[in-house]
């Protein structure tokens, strides 16, 4: 014994289109342009690192991590740098993202 569904009790209602293109144009004309909201959520661009920050790009996990200059100095204490003997990445240190010793590329923003 199933009871028939009433359309007003459906959880998902179909979307309705604007009645005409004139109504759709009026809605967009008064709208304030969204400077950072939706574009910031769906953009693929990363914000620039602050001045003095160091970007660590790990070859093992593929993550890019931005650390402060003080944190970078702590990361660099047990490290190895071979810029003339090895192709990039040149630095062997502990990645801040995956915490493994790996070859990383360091970029300093001045």
pTM here is 0.56
Q: Which residues contact 104 (CB under 8 A, 6 or more apart)?
A: 56, 57, 58, 59, 89, 91, 92, 93, 95
Residue 32, pLDDT score:
64
Token pair for 41 = 């959520």
For strands 101-108 and 91-94, give the pairing.
antiparallel
Residue-wise pLDDT tens digits, 41-86: 776 667 777 888 999 999 999 999 999 989 999 988 889 999 888 8
């Amino acid at each position: 014994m199933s009871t028939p569904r009433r359309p007003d009790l459906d959880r998902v209602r179909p979307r309705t289109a604007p009645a005409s293109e004139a109504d759709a144009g009026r809605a967009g004309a008064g709208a304030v342009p969204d400077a950072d909201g939706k574009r910031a959520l769906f953009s693929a661009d990363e914000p620039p690192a602050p001045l003095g920050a160091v970007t660590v790009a790990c070859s093992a996990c593929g993550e890019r991590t931005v650390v402060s200059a003080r944190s970078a100095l702590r990361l660099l204490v047990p490290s190895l740098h071979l810029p003339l003997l090895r192709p990039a990445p040149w630095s062997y240190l502990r990645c801040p993202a995956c915490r493994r010793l790996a070859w990383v590329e360091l970029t300093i923003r001045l």
